Amino acid sequence: MLEDNINQIKTTVSQACQKVQRKTDSVKVIAVTKSVTSEEAEKLIPFGFTDFGENRTDHLLEKQAALKDYDITWHLIGRLQRRKVKDVINQVDYFHALENERLAAEIEKRAEHVIKCFVQVNVSQEEAKQGVLLDETNDFIEALAKYPLIEVVGLMTMAPFDGTETEIEEYFTQLAIKRDEIMALNWEHAPCKELSMGMTQDFEIAIKAGATHVRIGTAFFKD
Ligand SMILES: *Cc1c(COP(=O)(O)O)cnc(C)c1O
């Protein structure tokens, strides 16, 4: 049931925070609503969840229209095709999957205001996975300085589905170290304070490693 799932998530987040002496409110829970209808998503709002994540442009826009009476922060968390940029980029509060310069150029072209972006990093170097490699991250972010409408607010990653807890923690920690490194460069276009990592399977580990944004779908909406 939804209410049980919510309580479970809240407990897990606060316990994970306690273990590493972080404040519970230092972790933003993004409810990933991609598997449910707008009506289902709406039920989360009275419980205080108002950050919603979608990985498809059309679904995000549909839900946004259906829930327009609420003050929701919208996160586009998945791959964005260049031809879709114009439809959605001015509608989202955060884009979590910036990973190549052609996409950055298209965002710059279509943006009507500064767009808050996470750079997606393929920490585990899986072939099929999106994102820049850790080694390429500095150069990529430095190059984004030429797009004044792109602000790099942080880094995002996805852990391998079949990783062990130790491996996943290692990947998340590597991303946290990279975030610290970029932040220390004090680039005006890349404050890079945030870390978007952790899903249903691994958000506890992510919080331990310093996640500021966890993206949780299944744990909310499972039976
Ligand atoms: C679906 C999705 C999530 C949420 O995954 P769950 O395992 O359902 O919590 C998080 N991030 C991205 C990028 C996703 O596509």
Q: Rounded to whole angstroms, how far apart are CA atoms 188 and 172?
A: 25
Atom of ligand 1 at shortest distance to CA of 216? 9
Q: How confident is the model at residue 17 (pLDDT cuts 50, 70, 90)?
A: very high
Q: Judge if the beta carbon of residue 77 lies within 6 A of ligand 1.
A: yes
Over the stretch 63-79, which tens digit does the pLDDT of each residue have? 999 999 999 999 999 99
Over the stretch 154-168, which tens digit does the pLDDT of each residue have? 999 999 999 999 999
Cβ(111)–Cβ(92) below 8 Å: no
With a CB cutoff of 8 Å and minimum separation 6, the contacts of 49 are: 6, 29, 31
Q: What is the mean pLDDT of the chain?
A: 97
Q: Judge if the beta carbon of residue 55 lies within 6 A of ligand 1.
A: yes
Apex 67 CA angle, 62 and 73, nearest 5: 95
Q: How confident is the model at residue 133 (pLDDT cuts 50, 70, 90)?
A: very high
Q: How confident is the model at residue 57 (pLDDT cuts 50, 70, 90)?
A: very high
Q: Would you give the distance in Å from CA 161 to the centre of its chain?
A: 17
Q: Which domains does the chain have, with CATH numbers?
A: 2-221 (3.20.20.10)
Q: How confident is the model at residue 89 (pLDDT cuts 50, 70, 90)?
A: very high
Q: What confidence score (pLDDT) does residue 183 get?
A: 98
The amino acid at residue 44 is: L
Average pLDDT over residues 43-68: 98
Structure tokens at 143: 């190059």
- Report how far ligand 1's centroid is from the alpha carbon of 76 (Å): 11
Q: Judge if the beta carbon of residue 32 lies within 6 A of ligand 1.
A: yes
Residue 195 β-bridge partners: 155
Q: How confident is the model at residue 135 (pLDDT cuts 50, 70, 90)?
A: very high
Region for 127 from its dihedrals, namely left if φ exceeds 0, alpha if ψ lies in -120 to 50, beta otherwise: alpha
Q: What confidence score (pLDDT) does residue 168 get?
A: 98
Q: How many CB atoms lie within 10 A of CB 112?
A: 8
